[in-house]
A and B are shown apart, each in its own frame.
Chain A
Amino acid sequence: MEQQQVELLMGNEAMACGLIEAGCQVVAAYPGTPSTEILQAVADRRATALEPLHIEWSVNEKVAFEVALAASYTGKRSAAIMKQVGLNVAADPFMRSAYLGVKGGFVTIVADDPGPHSSQNEQDTRLFCLQGRVPVFDPASPAEAKELLPLAFELSEKYEMLTVLRPATRICHSRQNVEHKPVQQLNRSANFEKNPNRWGATPAFLPALHRQLNDNLVAFAAEPALQPRLTPGNGTAARTALVASGIVYGHIVDLLAELGLTQNFDLYQVVLPYPLNAAWVEQMRNNYDRVMVVEETYPVIEMQLAHTGAFGKQSGDIVKEGELTPDVVNEALARFLDLAPPPPAPADSRGQRPSLCPGCPHRSAFYSIKKTFPKGIFPSDIGCYTLGLNLKAVDTVHCMGACISQGAGFYQSYVQDAKDSFPTVVVTIGDSTFFHSGIPALINAVIQQARIIVVILDNSIAAMTGGQPVPHMGHKITGEATKAIVIEPLVQASGVEFLECCDPYDNVAFEAALHRADAHIRAPQGGVAVIIARHGCLMERAVAQQQTRYTMAITSACIGCRLCVDAFECPALSMDSSTKMAILDPDRCIGCGACIHVCPVDAITEVIQGEQS
């Protein structure tokens, strides 16, 4: 593939190019916003690699990390990619890897989400790395994220240490003019040198490995290329410094330019927030009386600096929650410098809330679940179907795979009080999440005899993150065929005795299946009941093309009951404020016809268009 020298690249694409240019040969990931597009871009650009390149969507982040880790043991460069909460899933192998180290350069790219924009928390991977004792790079732009990758690989090899690149959402999903570099050809053959004292280290060997790690961290922090980058001031504000890392460094550079203060201060960009070089920390304490530290999301640099004149999050001077937007930095800088306070920024408003797409099969499933069990308890999970919150058919959302275990926990607690009248617990979990971490929870629910209904929302794709293949699709990221892992036998092998599969578009059949499942969980020999609600995601062109499309209309028979707007919550339906009747937005309606069944007076009608392209 021929590439332009300079290309407009999303941060995630830039990092993908960086991986290929650094000669990385094994890349494994699990999708999660904001990290997802990195692996996809590696796949799209794999023809630019000069050596064999294995790319995989692993079944979860722990698996991805371990696959890439072992590749590094053979001497090749490898990478694992995940979002910040994915590192929690991979925490077990990650923490031990710090002690045991690596051979070939190994970079874990962990994308943080200050804000958060699309995550269940805004945890800071830099702090995670401090706890794990793993060096972490914090790029300030898409171009820099790419530039840091070859350096991270080189130093990972030099010290045989795991390294982490931590881009945040504003790096991942920003675009920039980025320069391509020549692709390295490393000519490495897989060569795993056995060393059980290290790769299988028992407790007896761990203190020595720990000591080696601590020594390495000191040397790593002193690497010349990783020292905080100083833009010196002109002495206007002596003994006052600004310290920034990540995208916030970019905010501060632009802000100082706008305020005409660029030359007034010593400004440091920290590219390696952990470990900090002790000599630099000492110098900051000696040379400056006041130091403003701006970083996302936790005060990791500020904590290590432990400067008595610090002005940051730990000192209580800068807000600790949410994104450090240019407005937040501007307000804080004005206080730090005793400037006139800027006019208050408008209250953070997120505007219109997201909804399940028009035609989404999850909407039909949630509508029927809520209708069938108005008093049910509905644990759900991470994915598009989190938006079942809008239909009041989702009560809990925690972390990947938690819904089945939470559902079992609800049952165990309620059944103690009322053996025969426990509430119906209906768990909803997507197909990708089921493979990720739902299976152990299902086995556990079965052996602990939890009487719950598990609905696997099988749209045959990882939809929320943009359509990555799932194990039952039978193809890999590259499109090559592989074995398809069928869900039904997995469920049966887990000991589930009630299993039905049905299209949630057929509400009548789906609701009948829910009633049968409820009878099963309440029968003397009952247990976990599983229903697979199977209908493809309409974001997939092939699915959308095969589906019958209707021209929808709302007739004057509408009585304005709001059921279709409130209980069904399709973005194409809303209430006309003047007529008090439901109206249909022709730009957003996709003609799925799923709402027809919802109207109690048959005022939503359709004319078949036939199959559309």
Chain B
Amino acid sequence: MKQQIIVSGIGGQGVLFLTRVIAQVAVNRGLAVLTSETHGMAQRGGTVLSSIKVGDFSSPLIRTGQADVGLLLWEANLGVHQPLLRTDGALVISSEQLGSGARIAAARLARELGNAVLANLIVLGVAVRDQLLFCTSDECEQAIRQLAPARFVEQNLAAFHLGLNH
């Protein structure tokens, strides 16, 4: 099993948390995993990008045209990060506009759930629903329970299920 995934957004959208959930699933299944993340100044509302490489890899970075799946929480990043995807790569985008990839109004749905930052797990739910990722919904739920602060677990799972059943 080898899969290369990018998660793209802006600082404050929960890109890091979504990255950790997916990577935790790999660890729970005993798979090797490498991620890279954006920290520091760019986190102050700027563009952030994570990569996740599951399976036998040595580098955490993804070369142009090699990512299997892209999860975009900020549509405006499409121009910057789409080149990382394979030509047949799958894409899930948080967006209310029509366009490429699977699209879901994740920010609005998340706001209705009580917090715009939950858009990250709604997008994860859609990706799992469409079987784009190596992981199952049960595995994602387990990882969310492991990583979310206790008082947010139920809200996070609700967001994930919203995407899963959308």
Contacts and interface: CB of A to CB of B under 8 A. Distances in A.
Interface in A1-36: 6-8, 10, 33-34
For the complex of A and B, the 10 pairs showing the least CB-CB separation, nearest first, are A351-B47, A118-B40, A354-B46, A250-B59, A33-B40, A587-B116, A250-B58, A253-B58, A326-B63, A354-B44
A326 B59 contact: yes
Contacts of B107: 587
Given A173-B36, A177-B32, A345-B64, A354 B59 contact: no
Given A349-B80, A354-B43, A384-B41, 20 more contacts: A33-B40, A170-B36, A173-B36, A173-B39, A175-B23, A175-B34, A176-B32, A177-B31, A250-B34, A250-B60, A254-B59, A254-B63, A255-B63, A327-B63, A349-B79, A352-B74, A352-B76, A354-B42, A356-B44, A464-B44
Given A170-B36, A174-B36, A176-B33, A346 B44 contact: no
Interface string B39-68: 111111111000000000111111111100
A10 B147 CA distance: 14
A353 B63 CA distance: 23
Contacts of A464: 40-41, 44
Contact of B80 (A351, A384, A587): A351
B40 A352 contact: no
B27 A8 contact: yes
B41 A354 contact: yes
A350 interface: yes
Interface residues of A, number: 51
B141 interface: no
A46 B7 CA distance: 32
Nearest to A251: B59
A140 B58 contact: yes
Contacts of B42: 117-118, 350, 354
A243 to B, nearest CB: 16
Contacts of A305: none
A258 B66 contact: yes
Interface of A: 6-8, 10, 33-34, 37, 117-118, 140-141, 170, 172-177, 247, 249-251, 253-255, 258, 325-327, 330, 343, 345-346, 349-357, 384, 386-387, 464-465, 571, 586-588
Nearest to B26: A177
B64 A346 contact: yes
A332 to B, nearest CB: 13
B36 A587 contact: no
Contacts of B27: 6-8, 177
A117 B63 contact: no
Contacts of A387: 41, 44
B120 interface: no
B45 A386 contact: no
A172 B116 CA distance: 29
Contacts of A343: 64-65
Given A173-B36, A352-B47, A253 B59 contact: yes
A34 B39 contact: yes
A351 B48 CA distance: 9
A173 B46 contact: no
A117 B19 CA distance: 19
Contacts of B60: 170, 174-176, 247, 250
17 contacts: A170-B61, A173-B39, A174-B34, A175-B20, A175-B23, A176-B33, A176-B60, A326-B59, A326-B63, A352-B46, A352-B74, A354-B11, A354-B42, A354-B44, A387-B41, A464-B44, A586-B111
Given A8-B20, A325-B61, A586-B111, A176 B46 contact: no
A326 B62 contact: yes
B58 A254 contact: yes
Contacts of B156: none
Contacts of B32: 176-177
A298 B74 CA distance: 35
B83 interface: yes
B77 interface: yes
